[in-house]
Amino acid sequence: MNQFWENEYVLTAANYSVVILCIVVFLAMFELVTKYNNWEEIKKGNLAVAMATGGKIFGIANVFSHSIVQHDTLFTMIGWGLFGFFLLLLGYFIYEFLTPKFKIDDEIKNDNRAVGFISLVISVGLSFVIGAGI
């Protein structure tokens, strides 16, 4: 069985499948903590939500890419990916806390593209920091 998991094609397909599943689960978790429905807002053309969601997707994928490079087993990669996602989620709450003059979710829902862009950059930036640490 070890020879099966050492095959590069099998390992790549396994990593890919796990990361896709984790992105879907993690986006659903982000959906629970935001005050708006990502996909409904994107369907309406809300660019701020699209940027914030794109930043989350990139951030999650980037954390997992670092985890794949640094760890040799699927379960270790998943564990570090989960930890990285938790840190990204924590970054979201810190961003909300550090902007007491307005509510991030309300601004993004109202298509404030400046806030959506900053949200994207924070997710992407933090993902590189998290990735470097794992």
Q: Is the pLDDT of residue 39 over 70?
A: yes
The gap from C-alpha 130 to its chain's centroid, in whole angstroms, comes to 11
Rounded to the nearest integer, the mean pLDDT of the chain is: 92
Phi-psi sector, 102: left (phi>0), alpha (psi -120 to 50), beta: beta
Position 71 scores a pLDDT of: 80
Predicted confidence band at 51 (pLDDT cuts at 50, 70, 90)? very high
Number of domains in the chain: 1
pTM: predicted TM-score of the whole model, two decimal places: 0.89
85/51 Cα distance (integer angstroms): 18
Two tokens at 114? Answer: 């400046």
- Range of 84's domain? 2-133
Predicted confidence band at 74 (pLDDT cuts at 50, 70, 90)? confident
- List pLDDT tens digits, range 16-25: 999 999 999 9
Position 21 scores a pLDDT of: 95
Two tokens at 36? Answer: 């708006």
Q: In this structure, which amino acid lies at residue 26?
A: F
